[in-house]
Chain A
């Protein structure tokens, strides 16, 4: 079916930066769009960003536009998100997910926790 595994989370001060990575395996990475979805502690799911198959088209939720940048390396079957100017409200578990051909998120990782705090 395929797997994804996130890494790179941690504690960062407000205004700081962090880069999350997602390693994909057991599926044809270049065939699928990919996305990041986050979940603040005790809260629901929030879509963050999506990237198309060749990386030429990206979409972001308004709250992260200009601060977060999604990218992918198809040769390494990896997805990334560079998060700059981090805010306390960005504290969440960040999930990497595959976008199936219908637009649903059909493969999810276990998530990586990002804590923004002084």
Chain B
């Protein structure tokens, strides 16, 4: 079964670019890699999703190398409101299809 590894925590400052990397081996070949954001006392919120190379939307970019063994979420010019826990999510097939969530990276943005 696939395993995911993310840094437990990261600190940055307002206005900086933040990159969070998730390592994931043995993921399903034809499946997306997805990232979510979670604030305290709320459910996770979808940020971005990609299959390979680079995807960009209005809030983030996602970089996925050709071997798909990792993915990097890039948050441009963060603000205090980006303080949250960020999860990567991948799929894998064991006896059946499984969703594997990363343990989450607690990102703290300082003024």
A and B bound? no
User: Measuring CB to CB, which residues of chain B are less than 8 angstroms from any residue of chain A?
Assistant: none
User: Measuring CB to CB, which residues of chain A are less than 8 angstroms from any residue of chain B?
Assistant: none
